Amino acid sequence: MIVREKILIVDDDKDIADLLEVYLKNDGYTVYKFYDGTGALACIEQTELDLAILDVMLPDLDGFKLCSKIREKYFYPVIMLTAKIEDTDKITGLTIGADDYITKPFNPMEVMARVKTQLRRYKRYNGQQQIEAEQKEVVEYDIRGLLINKATHRCTLYGEELTLTPIEFSILWYLCEHQGNVVSSEQLYEAVWGEKFLTNNNNTVMAHIGRLREKLHEPAKKPKFIKTVWGVGYKVE
Angle value at C-alpha 129, between 186 and 161, nearest 5 degrees:
85
Per-residue pLDDT reduced to its tens digit, 159-213: 888 888 888 999 999 998 888 899 999 999 988 888 888 877 888 888 899 889 8
- Please give the average per-residue pLDDT across 67-72, as a whole number: 88
* Mean predicted lDDT score pLDDT of the chain: 84
Residues 90, 187: Cα–Cα separation, whole Å: 22
Cβ-contact 53, 115 below 8 angstroms = yes
pLDDT at 25: 94
Question: What are the residues whose beta carbons fall under 8 Å from the beta carbon of 62, sequence distance 6 or more?
Answer: 37, 56
pLDDT-derived band at 131, boundaries 50, 70, 90: very low
pLDDT at 72 over 90: no
| pTM for the structure as a whole | 0.60
Question: What are the residues whose beta carbons fall under 8 Å from the beta carbon of 96, sequence distance 6 or more?
Answer: 64, 67, 68, 71, 211
pLDDT at 89: 64
Q: What is the DSSP string of 88-113?
A: HHHHHHHHTT-SEEEESS--HHHHHH
Residues 186, 205: Cα–Cα separation, whole Å: 9
Give me the domains of the chain, ranges plus CATH numbers.
Answer: 6-126 (3.40.50.2300), 140-236 (1.10.10.10)
pLDDT at 134 over 50: no
* High-pLDDT (> 90) share of the chain, %: 29
- Please give the average per-residue pLDDT across 68-91, as a whole number: 80
pLDDT at 135: 44
Cβ-contact 85, 66 below 8 angstroms = no
* Mean pLDDT lowest among 17-31, 33-47, 79-93, 122-136: 122-136
Cβ-contact 57, 63 below 8 angstroms = yes
Query: Is the torsion defined by CA of 75, 49, 39, 11 positive or negative?
Result: positive
